[in-house]
């Protein structure tokens, strides 16, 4: 079989994170938004090292026989990743020091270092140390061949070079920077109207001489250790999975090192001493700038400067569901499409709140993957039990970094009387489904909400997703069977005809849709598709798309994150055009549009084209049957494909160059989408008012 080009998954992910970093240096963005993108980049990278890099580091530790069976060289992969990350970290430092700090100063906001402090500020720093910092800094003298201190996961420390005042003998120490207890950015007193900040790191630097009174401080350098966070549970097929996850959560904070970062100005002899002290391998070590844990920039104070933030874009009311007196009748009448965060999330919340108090509702079912800490949806489910309804919640406890929160919600729901079903071994459930059963005129009626996003009121404000409310029996009957499988772990007897469901017909169904386009192209007819997703990694699907391109199918890809496919390669993928959009909102929706001989098949999905999604999860891909809604989705996709402001071209060079083609006008798809929806809502309101004022209705 011929080998076709594939970009390694993690190299592609690093390219995506570089697109995030690009936003931080985009001077057209408000200053505080650029600072926020520094935080997003850092948060992403931290998770990458805790999970993906930890996996590569563990592959380095396996035996020679196992290594021979791998398709990749773990050592070469680790080195390549480190080279790319080093380059990005240098760019991060340049953006922060040469762009962000001077721009803050132009707006009267000064980020000071300890040597910049005036007398009043020095007095404040000393007082702050005594009153707030002293209990938390935990100074430790490092003595060779003694018990080494434990470095907490993702906690920042200062490593200190110093000399004994009496003997002149060199010594090394570490001090904790207590950002887990105190704010990272501390405002200093000011008399001239400016806003002066100092980072907690520099407050600790200023204070180290008080912690080691018998020593002369020579210099300080920040360090941080990131620990392996992978739970290694996806492939376990037996045992008490729930207890294993709880045990793994307890171990997570003490896992092996996956990254040790240090200030790149640190002298080599100190780095070697720390490496020996903390038993680190050279491949564990990565240089960064003066500051670590830069995801703390999420908490950078805004001082009420709204002009330095994105202009408000309040979610738009969806009147058909939010303002109607007959909620269920509105869904019976037609399907409804909600596009978050442009639309308000109230329609989804009302779906559950209405069901919880409606005497005609007998059952409510939902799949919970990630959920808000303060969730009106979960509250509604517990109230529904009090009202005598049967409530069933499937909780996926393998949702990475949300396992603990999901377990806690599961316990609360169980205590309230909800029937809670947890993950079963070997399979992760990623579907975004909800079901309400009502008795209407003595008969059963089923209502569904199907989505590309989680039931999470907070992320619905910043993640771009689609959701559909429907009473279409073609869909409701099959969603009911998905829930039956989740609750009973019993394979449905009849095949799915409308839904594509992971573990049953998802991969085969997608291949069948692509094969149809291939056949059309070979017959000389129009053949095209637009595929929007978060990640594209599965080798079989990539080869299928290459096959489609070679057959003449025109393919548009909109891939936010990982894209292992290489577009535009002659003889392989010249009919594939790929873009990635990184902007104000996180593009989270999965949308698949197939020309299908002019029938225009449109699907929403919870699944990316990742092997894990297509082969190892319960995912749901569902069709949009309503012609008007289908056309709306196609319009939304066309707007994204025309984005020449925030779209980057996907290529094998991983250059992340901006797409500037198409219209002579500047098109920013997220802005265009919001204003399109707003115009449509205004038009619908005007038409409703005109209809109400018509002679027929005046009677």
Active site residue 430: yes
The answer to whether 295 and 42 are in contact (CB under 8 A) is yes
The answer to whether 355 and 436 are in contact (CB under 8 A) is yes
Q: What span, in angstroms and rounded, lies between the C-alpha atoms of 566 and 299?
A: 38
What six digits make up the tokens of 385?
A: 């039990």
Whole-number Cα distances in Å, 63 to 68, 74, 81, 283:
9, 12, 22, 18
For 288-318, b/e burial (b = at least 16 CB within 10 A) is bbbbbbbbbbeebeeeeeeebeeeeeeebeb
Q: Please name the residues in contact with 563: beta carbons below 8 A apart, sequence gap of 6 or more.
A: 7, 12, 535, 536, 557, 578, 580, 650
What six digits make up the tokens of 169?
A: 């003998």
Work out the number of other CB atoms within 10 angstroms of the CB of residue 506. Answer: 24
Tokens 């100074």 belong to residue: 139
In terms of DSSP bridges, do strands 433-440 and 428-429 run parallel, antiparallel, or are they unpaired?
unpaired
The answer to whether 556 and 529 are in contact (CB under 8 A) is yes
Count CA within 13 A, CB hemisphere, residue 505. Answer: 16
Dihedral angle, C-alpha 303, 34, 125, 159, nearest 10 °: 160
User: Which helix (H) or strand (E) segment is 157 a member of?
Assistant: strand 156-164
Q: Which of 648, 643, 698 is nearest to 673 (CA)?
A: 643
DSSP characters over 192-213: SS-EEEEEHHHHHHHHHHHH-T
Euclidean distance between the first and the last CA atom of the chain, given in angstroms as a whole number: 75
What six digits make up the tokens of 319?
A: 């009147």
What six digits make up the tokens of 596?
A: 């299908």
Q: Which of 322, 393, 385 is nearest to 355 (CA)?
A: 385
Q: What span, in angstroms and rounded, lies between the C-alpha atoms of 122 and 114?
A: 8
The answer to whether 412 and 368 are in contact (CB under 8 A) is no
Whole-number Cα distances in Å, 273 to 151, 212, 450:
15, 20, 56
Burial class (CB in 10 A: 0-12, 13-18, 19+), 663: exposed
The active-site residue, picked from 56, 430, 456, 588, is 430
In terms of DSSP bridges, do strands 390-395 and 361-368 run parallel, antiparallel, or are they unpaired?
parallel
Q: What span, in angstroms and rounded, lies between the C-alpha atoms of 215 and 195?
A: 34
DSSP characters over 367-406: EESS--SS-HHHHHHHHHHHTT-EEEEEE-TTSTT-HHHH
Phi-psi region of 78 (alpha: psi -120 to 50; beta: other; left: phi over 0): alpha
Q: What span, in angstroms and rounded, lies between the C-alpha atoms of 217 and 208?
A: 8
Count CA within 13 A, CB hemisphere, residue 322. Answer: 15
Q: How many residues does the chain have?
A: 699
Residues β-bridged to residue 367: 394
Q: Which of 623, 31, 690, 77 is nearest to 335 (CA)?
A: 623
Question: Which residues carry out catalysis?
Answer: 430
């Amino acid at each position: 079989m011929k080998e076709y080009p594939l970009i390694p998954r993690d190299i592609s992910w690093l390219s995506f994170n570089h697109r995030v970093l690009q936003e931080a240096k985009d001077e057209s963005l408000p200053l505080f938004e650029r600072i926020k993108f520094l935080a997003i980049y850092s948060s992403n990278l931290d998770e990458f090292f805790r999970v993906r890099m930890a996996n590569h580091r563990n592959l380095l530790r396996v035996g020679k026989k196992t290594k021979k069976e791998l398709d990749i060289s773990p050592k070469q992969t680790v080195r390549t990743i480190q080279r790319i990350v080093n380059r990005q970290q240098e760019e991060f430092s340049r953006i922060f020091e040469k762009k962000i700090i001077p721009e803050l100063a132009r707006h009267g906001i000064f980020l000071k270092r300890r040597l910049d402090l005036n007398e009043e500020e020095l007095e404040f720093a000393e007082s702050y140390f005594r009153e707030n910092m002293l209990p938390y800094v935990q100074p430790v003298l490092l003595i060779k061949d003694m018990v080494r201190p434990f470095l907490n996961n993702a906690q920042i420390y200062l490593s200190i070079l110093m000399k004994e005042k009496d003997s002149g003998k060199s010594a090394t120490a570490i001090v904790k920077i207590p950002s887990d207890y105190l704010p990272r950015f501390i405002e200093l007193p000011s008399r001239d109207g400016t806003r002066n900040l100092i980072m907690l790191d520099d407050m600790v630097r200023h204070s180290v001489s008080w912690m080691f009174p018998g020593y002369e401080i020579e210099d300080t350098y920040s360090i941080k250790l990131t620990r392996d966070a992978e739970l290694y549970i996806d492939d376990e097929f037996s045992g008490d999975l729930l207890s294993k996850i709880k045990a793994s959560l307890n171990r997570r904070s003490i896992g092996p090192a996956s990254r040790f970062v240090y200030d790149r100005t640190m002298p080599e002899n100190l780095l070697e001493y720390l490496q020996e002290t903390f038993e680190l391998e050279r491949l564990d070590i990565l240089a960064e700038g003066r500051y670590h844990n830069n995801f703390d920039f999420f908490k950078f104070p805004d001082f009420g400067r709204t002009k330095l933030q994105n202009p408000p874009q309040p979610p738009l009311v969806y009147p058909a569901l939010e303002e109607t007196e007959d909620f269920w009748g509105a869904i019976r009448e037609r399907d409804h499409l909600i596009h978050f965060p442009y639309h308000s999330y109230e329609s989804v919340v009302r779906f559950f709140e209405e069901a919880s108090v409606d005497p005609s509702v007998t059952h409510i079912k939902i799949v919970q993957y990630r959920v808000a800490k303060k969730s009106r949806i979960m509250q509604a489910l517990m109230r529904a039990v009090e009202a005598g309804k049967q409530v069933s919640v499937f909780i996926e406890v393998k949702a990475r970094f949300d396992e603990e929160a999901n377990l806690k919600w599961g316990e609360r729901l169980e205590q309230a009387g909800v029937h809670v079903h947890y993950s079963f071994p070997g399979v992760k459930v990623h579907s975004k489904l909800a079901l309400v059963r009502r008795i209407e005129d003595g008969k059963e009626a089923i209502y569904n909400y199907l989505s590309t996003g989680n039931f999470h009121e907070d992320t619905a404000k910043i993640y771009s997703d689609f959701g559909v409310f429907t009473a279409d029996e073609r869909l409701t009957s099959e969603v009911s069977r998905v829930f039956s499988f989740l609750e009973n772990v019993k394979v449905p007897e009849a095949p799915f005809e409308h839904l594509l469901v992971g573990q049953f017909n998802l991969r085969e169904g997608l291949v069948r849709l692509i094969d149809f386009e291939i056949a059309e192209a070979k017959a000389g007819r129009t053949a095209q598709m637009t595929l929007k997703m978060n990640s594209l990694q599965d080798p079989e699907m990539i080869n299928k798309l290459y096959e489609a391109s070679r057959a003449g199918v025109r393919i548009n890809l909109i891939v936010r994150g990982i894209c292992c496919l290489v577009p535009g390669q002659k003889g392989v993928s010249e009919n594939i055009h790929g873009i990635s959009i990184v902007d104000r909102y996180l593009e989270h929706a999965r949308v698949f549009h197939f020309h299908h001989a002019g029938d225009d098949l449109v699907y929403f999905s919870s699944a990316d084209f990742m092997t894990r999604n297509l082969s190892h999860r319960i995912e749901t891909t569902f069709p949009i049957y309503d012609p008007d809604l289908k056309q709306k989705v196609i319009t939304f996709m066309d707007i994204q494909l025309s984005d020449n402001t925030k779209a980057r071209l996907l290529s094998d060079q991983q250059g992340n160059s901006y797409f500037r083609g198409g219209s002579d006008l500047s098109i920013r798809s997220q802005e265009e989408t919001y204003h399109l929806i707003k115009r449509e809502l205004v038009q619908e309101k005007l038409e409703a008012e005109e209809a109400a004022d018509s002679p027929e209705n005046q009677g």
